[in-house]
């Protein structure tokens, strides 16, 4: 197993998920319910969505070069970042 890949994937997902709306929803659910049931449900949901992303990524990588996938992802992040930075605040 590639532990460097495991670590970098964990760190990227962990940081991306911190403070997002999913975490806020999970906190509000835990405030009024069994924290272990909420933890189990939210953990299973993250595992399920990650499985879908891995399978989709594997399927797409058979059709498109991983280099072009990285470039496209980078471009999407730059465009979204620019849009959020300079977009109109409502």
Domain residues of the chain, as ranges?
3-86
Q: How far is CA 47 from the centre of its chain?
A: 11
CA dihedral (59, 61, 62, 65) in degrees, to 10, reads 160
Low-confidence ranges of the chain (pLDDT < 70): 89-90
**Model confidence pLDDT, tens digit, residues 7-20:** 999 998 888 888 78
* 39 CB-near residues (< 8 Å, 6+ apart): 30
Task: Please report the pLDDT score of residue 18 as a whole number.
Answer: 80
pLDDT at residue 90, rounded to an integer: 62
Task: Name the token pair of 74.
Answer: 């980078």
Residue 89: the pLDDT is: 64
Statement: the pTM of the whole predicted model exceeds 0.85: no
């Amino acid at each position: 197993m590639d532990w460097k890949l495991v670590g970098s994937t964990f760190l990227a997902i962990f940081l991306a998920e911190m403070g997002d709306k999913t975490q806020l929803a999970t906190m509000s659910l835990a405030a009024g319910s069994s924290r272990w049931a909420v933890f189990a449900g939210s953990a299973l949901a993250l595992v399920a969505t990650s499985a879908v992303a891995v399978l989709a990524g594997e399927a797409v990588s058979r059709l498109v070069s991983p280099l072009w996938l990285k470039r496209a992802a980078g471009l999407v992040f730059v465009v979204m970042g620019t849009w959020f930075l300079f977009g109109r605040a409502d």
